[in-house]
A and B are shown apart, each in its own frame.
Chain A
Amino acid sequence: MKKMTALFTTAAMSLTALFGCANAFAEEGAGDVWTGEIEPVVVTLLNAGTDNPYLDQVAEKLNEYLGDKIGVEVSFRQVSIFNAASQYTMWIGGGETVDLLTIAYAPVSAFTGMNMLEPLDDLLQYAPHIQELAEEGYAIYCPSADGHIYGIRTLNPPVSNGDGMYFWKEDLEEAGLEYEDNQLVTLEDIELIVSKVKELHPDAYVGVYGSAPRSGFTIEADPLGANITSGVILGTESTEVVNYFETEEYQDYIKLLRKWYEEGLVKKDAATTDALEGGSMTNDPENCRMMWNEYNTGIIASYEEATGKEVVALRTAKRNQNALTDTDCYTGIPVTCEHPEAAMRFLDMMYSDMFVENTCYFGIEGVNFDYTDETKTAYVANPDNGFWALGSGNRMLEPMQGVYKEDTVQKYDQFAEEINSSPTKGYGFLYDPANMTNQITAIDAVLQEYRAALETGSADIDTVYPEFIKKLKANGIDDVIADKQAQFDAWLAEN
């Protein structure tokens, strides 16, 4: 559970600027006193199925701070992430007042299609810090077909977005392999290491499961602000939208997994289970000796803490700077919002004010969590009164969980630099799938049928893979890719 959440101290380039700006705001904010009316704002918070008992106290704490700053009295409404989209539909359909919706893993089109969200274009004037971030080059606006902005994305620190394969350090040493943590490796390297580990430990297996297909961890693909279903561009030079599932990289991945499956390196039930049921490096460290996961110093620390073994995580794909996917977190203003201006002022605080952002997601300092050092770069949650919500806002303002470490900062720097220096050709472009809804719906159903089995090696490639591609085509994947290419070309011509 000791995770590092975010790190902002020594961020490269623009991040330093951002931090500076947050501080500046805090200073000038202290002088400002809000003289207008205080308006109520209802904010949704996502949880993971267990309600937070501290909501009212947290809202109270925030209101003490916010009242004379931006004239907002905030109250929270929590909803579990699994039910969020359907609950929102009912609330908005029922005309209930909600001012800020936090949305996760549902595309903007799912809400704009039914006119549930207000366009934010005219409201952005109340959010100077959000505008600043956008001008600095962060892709934080969610646009849509009609050219309006409907949501503000959660700004995640790039450190959370690496793709890694985790190994036990003892295994690499035993096999006489020299790899350094955070090193970028190829699929061949991985194949070699895994076979060596298997020689040493015949019962070893790779923790890969159908619940979370991992092919994306080895392929440098940019889905252009939508799902990989509708096609991707590869690498940083290409402008050609291709079928992700037909790429050579994808075929290499499923061939390797098939080989592993036949050698007993993948669990027989892998296609239909998840790491909790099937076994992971934390709940079965003796046999699950390697696993794909995000490259994330926090995850590494949690593995080490749970097992007492040292981890080496190798990065299996270069992460380019792309427009993220359409299924990330974002915040929007629904049509039933009563005080859109106040809502926007509050949202702006979540992108600029460390106190507001941290109180929303970690609770009250001294009750729910404590900072571990004076610079507030790290925190520990109170084990008895932990408070957390699934976040939106500017997460780069948040402290890291656990204890501050010098080398994580270095890794973060390195990673941020790498990402910032390699934008894809599609950076800034977001595909709008509105015209292709029926095809994408049918394709989603095909993916459900084949992906888990192919990407865990559980299905025979010679017969099943061609069938998969054939079915994708029968359900119109080529039309969707052509549509994406056309929109992308138009955007390229403009920019």
Chain B
Amino acid sequence: MTGVRSRQEKTIAAIGHIIMILAAALAIAPFWLLVSSSIQEESSIIRDGYSFLPKEVSFSAYQYLLGEWKQIGRAYFVTIFTTVIGTTLSLFLVSMTSYVLSIRDLPGRTFIFIAILLTMLINGGQVSMYITYTRIVDVRNTIFALLVPNLLLNGFNVMLVRNYVTNSIPRELQEAASIDGAGLFHIYIRIILPLSKPILATVGLLTALGYWNDWINGLYFVSDSKWYSIQLMLNQINSNASFLASHSDQLGQMANQIDIPTVAVRMAISVLVIIPIVLAYPFFQKYFTGGMMVGAVKG
């Protein structure tokens, strides 16, 4: 994209700026409100309502969480660990599977691809999934419990990457390499992987968020709370708080024994959940760079 840009190009870019600024404002305002309501004094919320600039600031929610730091720190570690390992494994599997399925004359490829697509439309439900991962492959209380069930690979990602490889990576490149005597695995490593960076960044982002936000696997397959992820903690606190609030009359005195976290604490935890992803996101963006085909074909 060299040379002088035409007036039209400049106009389109200007419209782009305006639209993106609007979208960014709409995205950031609620987040700001999220942060400010996590530091707003509870009685002030009830009296003055939520506001972007809280009149009475209180960091008690964060102090409360700081008190639980041992547990939260550990949960952070578990989440980051599973996200990094899981996403790496997943990208490897998804790209390899998708590449093979893009080989044009591979016998049985359509059948396999449809079988994979089918998994997006139907599933057996939680109970049979649980039984499979406890009776057939027992993942309980191992690291696999957090990595494997439902997160590692899915039909959607395979479809995305396969379509990209089929449509956007020139076939001539692969054929040329093949003629030079390169094996399939060699082509995969040398050509497919580097050239599918944009789609792998997309799929990687999707997968990483899947791992980051997952709490189901922890809930079902991990009984030791040492291995609880940050999302599982947040989810347990949130869902139980609202359950207890709506059953308080039945629970009676039992409910009163329980410290239900305040709204501010719940907000503070979700701030803590989001911040690391925001910080890590630029890392992904490195791979969102276009225009490398030219060099690849020529070289």
Please tell me which one of the listed residues B127, B237, B259 contacts residue A93 in the complex, with CB atoms under 8 A apart.
B127
B127 CB to nearest A CB, Å: 5
- Chain A neighbourhood of B253, CB < 8 A: 3-6, 160, 294, 296, 298-299
How far is A13 from B219 in the complex, measured between Cα atoms in Å? 46
Q: Are B250 and A5 in contact (CB under 8 A)?
A: no
Cβ of A96 < 8 Å from any Cβ of B? yes
Min CB gap A102→B, angstroms: 12
B104 lies within 8 A of chain A by Cβ: no
Q: Most A CB atoms within 10 A — which of B220, B239, B257?
A: B257
Most chain B beta-carbon neighbours within 10 Å: one of A49, A53, A156, A161: A49
Nearest CB in chain B: distance from A273 CB, A: 9
Nearest CB of chain A from residue B247's CB, rounded to whole Å: 6
Report if A77 contacts B (CB, 8 A): yes
In contact, B126 and A90 (Cβ under 8 angstroms): yes
> From residue B239, how far is it (CB to closest CB) to chain A in Å?
5
**Separation of A94 and B236 alpha carbons in the complex (Å):** 23
Contact at A283–B46, with CB atoms within 8 Å?
yes
Residues of A within 8 A of B225 (CB): 51, 53
| A489, CB-defined interface residue at 8 Å | no
Q: Name the CB-closest residue of A to B135.
A: A94
Q: Does A39 contact B (CB under 8 A)?
A: no
Interface residues of B in 73-88 (CB under 8 A from A): none
A266 to chain B, nearest CB (A): 15
Asked if A390 and B254 make an inter-chain contact with CB atoms under 8 angstroms apart, the answer reads yes
Chain A residues whose CB sits within 8 angstroms of the CB of B252 once the complex forms: 156, 160-161, 294, 296
Name the contact of B258 in the complex, choosing from A48, A93, A279 (C-beta under 8 A): A48
Q: A48-B240, A49-B236, A53-B225 are in contact. Are A105 and B247 (CB under 8 A)?
A: yes
Contact of A212 among B127, B246, B263 (CB under 8 A): B246
Q: Is A401 an interface residue (CB 8 A)?
A: yes
The reply to whether B240 and A296 form a contact with Cβ atoms under 8 Å apart is no
Measured CA separation A1–B256 after assembly (Å): 7
**With A156-B252, A390-B254: A49-B246 Cβ-Cβ less than 8 Å:** no
A275 within 8 A of B: yes
Within 8 Å of chain B (Cβ to Cβ): is A57? no
With A49-B236, A50-B236, A299-B253 as contacts: A89 and B127 at CB distance below 8 Å:
yes
Q: Which of B126, B127, B240, B263 contacts A81 (CB 8 A)?
A: B240
- Which of A287, A325, A327, A401 sits near B257, CB closer than 8 Å? A401
* Residue contact A82 to B240, C-beta cutoff 8 Å: yes
A466 at the interface (CB under 8 A from B): no
Residues of A with C-beta under 8 A to B178: none
**Prevailing SS type, chain A contact patch:** loop
Interface residue B150 (Cβ < 8 Å from any Cβ of A): no
Tally A-B pairs: CB < 8 A: 117
Looking at the assembled complex, report how far the CB atom of A201 sits from the nearest CB atom of chain B, in whole angstroms. 14
Separation of A87 and B236 alpha carbons in the complex (Å):
14
**A5-B253, A276-B245, A296-B252 known; A94-B134 Cβ under 8 A:** yes
Interface string of A431-454 (1 = CB under 8 A from B): 000000000000000000000000
Given A82-B239, A283-B46, answer yes or no on A3-B256 (Cβ-Cβ < 8 Å). yes
Enumerate B242-270 residues with CB–CB distance to A below 8 Å: 242-254, 256-260, 262-263
Question: Judging by beta carbons under 8 Å apart, are A48 and B244 in contact?
Answer: yes
CA distance A164 to B226 in the complex (A): 42
A53 (CB) vs chain B CBs: closest residue? B225
Cβ of B258 to closest chain A Cβ, rounded Å: 5
Q: Determine the chain B residues whose CB is within 8 A of the CB of A83 once the complex forms.
A: 219, 239
Q: Which of B131, B237, B246 contacts A94 (CB 8 A)?
A: B131
Interface magnitude class on chain A: 35 or more
CA distance A190 to B23 in the complex (A): 51
- Residue of chain B at shortest CB distance from A288: B46
Residue B214 at the chain A interface, CB threshold 8 Å: no
Distance between B277 CB and nearest chain A CB, rounded to angstroms: 23
Task: Indicate if the CB atoms of A283 and B256 lie closer than 8 Å.
Answer: no
Nearest chain B CB to A5's CB is how many angstroms away? 6
**A370 in the interface (beta carbon within 8 A):** no
Report the separation of the CA atoms of residues A294 and B249 in the bound assembly, to the nearest whole angstrom.
7
In angstroms, Cα B37 to Cα A290, docked, is: 26
Contact between chains at B246 and A5 (CB < 8 Å): no
Query: Is B245 a contact partner of A82 (Cβ separation < 8 A)?
Result: no
A48-B262 Cα distance, complex, nearest whole Å? 14
Check B262–A276 contact: CB distance below 8 A. yes
| B207, chain A: closest CB distance, angstroms | 25
Residues of the B chain whose Cβ atoms lie less than 8 Å from the Cβ of A296? 252-253, 256
Q: Identify the interface centre among B43, B251, B260: most chain A CB within 10 Å of its CB.
A: B251
A408 surroundings in chain B (CB, below 8 A) = none
A20 within 8 A of B: no
Q: Is the CB of A391 within 8 A of B245?
A: no
Whether A212 touches B126, Cβ cut-off 8 Å, given contacts A49-B237, A53-B225, is no
A160 to B255 alpha-carbon distance, docked (Å): 11
Q: How far is the CA of A274 from the CA of B254 in the complex (A)?
A: 18
Specify which chain A residues have a CB less than 8 angstroms from the CB of B164 in the assembled complex.
Answer: none
Task: Decide yes or no: A298 and B258 within 8 Å by CB, A49-B236, A83-B219, A327-B250 being known contacts.
Answer: no
Which residues of the other chain, A, contact B220 by a CB distance below 8 angstroms?
87, 90
Report if A328 contacts B (CB, 8 A): yes
Report if A80 contacts B (CB, 8 A).
yes
Interface members, chain A 85-129 (any B CB < 8 Å): 86-87, 89-90, 93-96, 105
Contact partner of A328 among B237, B244, B250, B263, CB < 8 A? B250
The verdict on A284 contacting chain B, using a C-beta distance below 8 Å, is yes
Contact of A283 (CB < 8 Å), options: B42, B254, B258: B42
Q: Is residue A388 within 8 Å, beta carbon to beta carbon, of the partner chain?
A: yes
Closest B residue by C-beta to A86? B126
Checking B228, B241, B257 against A388 with a beta-carbon cut-off of 8 angstroms, the contacting residue is: B257
B residues bordering A, Cβ < 8 Å? 42-43, 46-47, 126-127, 130-131, 134-135, 219-220, 223, 225, 228, 236-237, 239-254, 256-260, 262-263
Interface pairs (13), CB distance under 8 Å? A50-B237, A51-B225, A86-B126, A89-B127, A95-B131, A105-B250, A211-B245, A217-B249, A283-B43, A283-B46, A284-B43, A388-B257, A390-B251
> Which 4 A-B residue pairings sit nearest by Cβ, starting from the closest?
A49-B240, A49-B236, A51-B225, A274-B245
